[in-house]
Structure 1
Amino acid sequence: MTVMANAAHKAGRRLLRDFAEVEQLQVSVKGPSDFVSQADMRAEQTLKEELAKARPGYAFLMEESGASGSENWTWRWVVDPLDGTTNFLHGMPHWAISIGLERRLADGTVEVHAGLVYAPAVDEMFWAEKGTGAFMNERRLRVSARREIHEAVFATGIPFAAASAARRNAFSRTLAALMPQVAGIRRFGAASLDLAWVAHGRFDGYWELSIKPWDICAGLILVKEAGGYATDVEQGDPLETGNVVAANPHLHAKLREVAAEGMSRAGA
């Protein structure tokens, strides 16, 4: 965790400088509504250098540069250097660095061993290691205790232009089913922080479809170590399917049921 925290703090300081001068950043478009800036690239390079220096044998899966290192890795960093790029580029302080650490076991299965989500603009660092609990800075985290769905506030991500019609329809059906039942639904634009906030108890749950592993790897272990559930919408692994439902133990089954129904009816 010290290695991860040091790397995140170093990258975070540079991101804060870029955030203060965001109007001067060069920005390119990867796809519809999908941006990458100089800030993303510089942060990713800093994280890769710091993590590789501390753990030279570990492989990488990074948002901008992809996979690197040995294909037969035992340990792998899964990194999003700037989750919430659109927020960042619009001067909104809701963005984060996400670092997950995967371990390949002797039987070939892969587990998330540790995760860190750092929000530099508010200096909140969420972190967890398997079997040791989840924390924000030095505070121990627990998911919310709400049992009734009409009291719940859920987070999600709204599909943008590049999403398939099936995915857009699945989201619309799930949203339509949930809205009359819940206290509120939020879309803040940074999946890693959505999961961290579920672990914190700020959100009671979160769902999203077709999301990348670097967006959720760290957040999944945060939720689990805070006493919540973080699963695929159906029976798979969310890191492979990109479909995730996370919530406290009382509300997870209901949220997962509604999301799965939305996918089924939309043919997603």
Structure 2
Amino acid sequence: MQIRYCTYTDTGDRPVNEDRLCACRTPAGCCFAVADGLGGLDLGDEAAELACRAVADYAAILPAFSSRALEQMFFAAQQAILERQHALHCESQMKTTLNVVLVGPQAIHWAHVGDSRTYYARGQRLVRRTFDHSVTQMLSAIGQVQEREIRFHEDRSKLLRVLGTPWARSQVEVEADLPLDPPQQLLLCSDGFWEYITEEQIQICLEEADGPELWMENMRELIRRNEHGRPGERDNRTAVAVWIDPEGGAKEEA
């Protein structure tokens, strides 16, 4: 089995990049994460940094990946943020989204909190994605907003679940484990990335790629075209593209 990946992050038109990512190999497999610190609140970048660091540290000591271990990663990230909030007396600040994908020898485990997204493809065909913990996603679920209207809806930035706010473990949305059955592809990305590219366009970029780097390059080119006419509005954008092939040794690209 060969695992290739490509990472990308850009500050956009914001003064600070509040996104963070994690992409690492561990004894249990490969660990990927994207965190997007909440804009409009101070210390969002620190919250995202703490979340990704907690995920990487926890993954490094695991003998094996599992859904239970994935939940514990989110708990560790949450605790790290809450402790830092308490130390700085800033409980109303320092919040972040978090998406994590663990690729083990037998299965793929993934979970999220917030509106960063994970897309999953089988044989270069998009199969599913995570659903945002946001007001607009909720409105879409009950038919008050069309799915295509989520991206630039006036309430899209209003989130229902994030790290850094008191919550129960049940608020972490853990997807059903996927058997490791290459070829498979995954995309983790912050809202600044997916906002300017549709699922149909992600699919087209995937079909035209032979690996994570070209897939990422194709998507970035489409995003540049789609954002034309919106000068000064570019949010931080971060993405990790993962490509799992059936043969060969593990290979990393960044």
TM-score scaled by length of structure 2: 0.27
More helix by share: 1
Q: Which has the higher contact order (CA 8 A, sep 6+)?
A: 2
TM-score scaled by length of structure 1: 0.26
